Structure 1
Amino acid sequence: MKLLQPDTLIRNPSGLPIVASVVVNCSASRLWDMVGQFAGFDMFIPDLSHIEMMGSGVGALRTKFFRDGNCVVEQLNSRDEQAMHMTWTTIYNTLGVARLWAAIQVEAIEAERAEVMWTIIAEPTEEANEGFEQFVQGFASSALDNVRRMLS
């Protein structure tokens, strides 16, 4: 009998980062309170109907349910409350994404001005290659524009 070896389907994507960022007229802590909640992205992404969580903290899984019937399962890789940043990896989705890693971070500019930056490195499935980068860029930019409108 052959001895089975450890294996995994999860690996980091390769490719150029897609970055979306906005400056918001509010404190960095208020901005982080919105974008830094792994379970709360449905607050500023209207395409999401809801989010379900399994676990909490690093290693927790979130399932994002989209209004169009798609879903995405992601794992929280890191989160630093003081530095106001977190990273996550997509482990399952119905959107045509083969692999995805993302980070979100908030930095203060002034007392009542802060910037949020969302960085995504993703690889499409073969079928979803056409227009993939524009889709990802548009999705992240639209979400952060909503954040700016909600908090400014």
Structure 2
Amino acid sequence: MKPLQPDTLIRNPTGVPIVASVVVNCHARRLWNMVGQFTSFDVFIPALSHIETIGNGIGALRTKFFRDGNRVVEQLNSRDEHAMHMTWTTIYNTLGVARLWAAINVDALGDKCSRVTWTIIAEPVDTTQVGFEQFVQGFANSALDNVRRLLG
């Protein structure tokens, strides 16, 4: 019998990045303080009822609880407070997403103007699913439009 070898189910997705971006009339640090908090996406995504986290910093896990009963577990891969960007990976979900990697970053466009960009690369469980990219794009667009309403 062959000895067990290291393995993992976590693999980066492949595909075309889905990008959502909005310009907000506020200081970049204020924008980052909203979208750059891994544990607080429920502040700007109304579909979330709450978030529970395990751990702090890189490697922390968050479980996003959706109002419709769905759940998503994600791990924080990187976060740079000074550069205002972070990345994470979905490791479990009930939404039909096989793999998902995401990044969010904030850029200052002036003293009271900034841009948030959310990049997502995702693969559906059902590769024949129609409208998956449009669903992901719509979700990200809606979340960032809400950020602009809350801060703009």
TM-score (norm 2): 0.98
Corresponding residue for residue 107 of structure 2: 107
Structure 1: 4+ residue segments shifted above 3 A: none
- Structure 1 stretches lacking a partner, 5+ long: none
Is 1:140 the counterpart of 2:140 in the alignment? yes
Match of 2:122 in 1: 122
The 5 A counterparts of 1:46-85 are: 46-85=46-85
Contact map agreement 1:96 1:127 (CA 8 A) in 2 = no
The one-letter amino acid paired with 1:59 is: G
Q: Secondary structure at the match of 1:83?
A: coil
Q: Distance in 2 between matches of 1:23 and 1:129?
A: 32
**RMSD (Å) for aligned C-alpha atoms:** 0.9
Number of residue pairs matched by the alignment:
152
Q: For residues 99 and 43 of structure 1, what CA distance do their matches in structure 2 show?
A: 24
CA offsets 1:87-126 (integer angstroms, 9 cap, x no match): 0000000000000000000000000000000000000011
CA deviations on 1:52-82 (whole Å, 9 max, x unpaired) are: 0000000000000000000000000000000
Identity of aligned residues (%): 77
Distance 1:79 1:86 in 2: 4
TM-score by structure 1 length? 0.98
